[in-house]
Amino acid sequence: MRRSGIYGLAAALLCSVPGFALAAPASYPLDPVALKSHSVLVVDADTGETLAAKNADAVVAVASLTKLMTALVVLEAGQDLDEVIELTREDVDRYKRTPSRLPIGTRLARSELLLLALMASENRSALALSRNYPGGREAFVAQMNATAVRLGMTRTRFSDAAGLLPTNRSTARDLAILLEAANAQPLIRDYSTRAVQTLRVGRRSMKFYSSNRLVRGRGWDIDLQKTGYTNEAGRCLVMQATVDGRNLAMIFLNSVGKLTRYGDASRVRQGVARTERTFAVKAALPAAPSAAAEATAAP
């Protein structure tokens, strides 16, 4: 288990001082009731320790979190990232009728479409990626589900590359597996955590922004992330982030209100930091003398 900063230094130094005892806490006091999302899972990605869980095995709609699997399928297929793809009417969202800043006829490299799908959660980008897969969209979705089975995501089913259909369903526990697989892809980590990107769209230069306000803000060390929202899924957030030296996988599903999922992430960060401080303070206290030592010292 990693420790960082002043608390980790204090713990390391005090471990070597005679008369001091240091015992790692068995678990972190992250009260799942205090976390407002319907489904929650917080796991130490290095040790596998579960720090908080609530409805972690409930099968729910996952909206644009689906795009992490979309990116994984594209990259594992080894498709040419420099190939230019033209958006067509087939890439328009006919189900939810979500808007897009990418007009029909836009020509972008596959890498740029992947970037926009992960960073800005562009539905048209994700749909274009699936259309330009060997065998088309049907083969792409089949590969998404085959990859889920291979990874051990036993309660997951995908229906489209953008996450628009409510039949894109998974659990917080399965999504932790997807986070781990996505985290092994440097390009997914890079693209999903960019705060802003300027791209040439037709004759114009356009700025695109991260759909995650924590990426655009300060104070977070985020390695990978994805947001999602539909009426069926509620507001969702998955992240892998370093918090007080711990590499945490955080999954928040079906949050009510625009800020709840971000509030839950902040509550996790505060809870871990609070426990790290408690750990360091306890490390500084002298160990209680044993009964044998007290008997020897008695006159």
Domain ranges for the chain = 5-90+101-289
Which of 100, 121, 210, 211 is labelled catalytic? Answer: 121
Which of 37, 39, 54, 67 is labelled catalytic? Answer: 67
Q: Is 111 annotated in the active site?
A: no
* Res 24: pLDDT: 37
Q: Which residues pair with 43 in a beta bridge?
A: 50, 249
* Res 133: pLDDT: 98
Q: Is 64 annotated in the active site?
A: yes
Which of 37, 39, 64, 211 is labelled catalytic? Answer: 64
* Res 33: pLDDT: 76
81-to-46, 71, 75, 108, 260 alpha-carbon distances in Å: 31, 12, 9, 10, 36
Q: Is 121 annotated in the active site?
A: yes
Q: Cα Rg for the chain, rounded, in angstroms?
A: 23
* Res 30: pLDDT: 77
Which CATH number does 5-90+101-289 carry? Answer: 3.40.710.10
Find out whether 267 and 34 touch, Cβ atoms under 8 Å.
yes
Burial class (CB in 10 A: 0-12, 13-18, 19+), 237: buried
Helix (H) or strand (E) segment spanning residue 296: helix 291-297
Return phi, psi of residue 113, to 5°.
-65, -40
Which SS3 state, helix, strand or coil, does residue 243 take? strand
Burial class (CB in 10 A: 0-12, 13-18, 19+), 267: middle
pTM of the model as a whole: 0.83
What does the pLDDT profile of the chain (299 residues) look like in tens digits?
A: 333 333 333 333 333 333 333 333 444 457 877 899 999 999 999 999 999 999 999 999 999 999 999 999 999 999 999 999 999 999 999 999 999 999 999 999 999 999 999 999 999 999 999 999 999 999 999 999 999 999 999 999 999 999 999 999 999 999 999 999 999 999 999 999 999 999 999 999 999 999 999 998 888 999 999 999 999 999 999 999 999 999 999 999 999 989 999 999 999 999 998 765 544 444 444 554 555 544 444 44
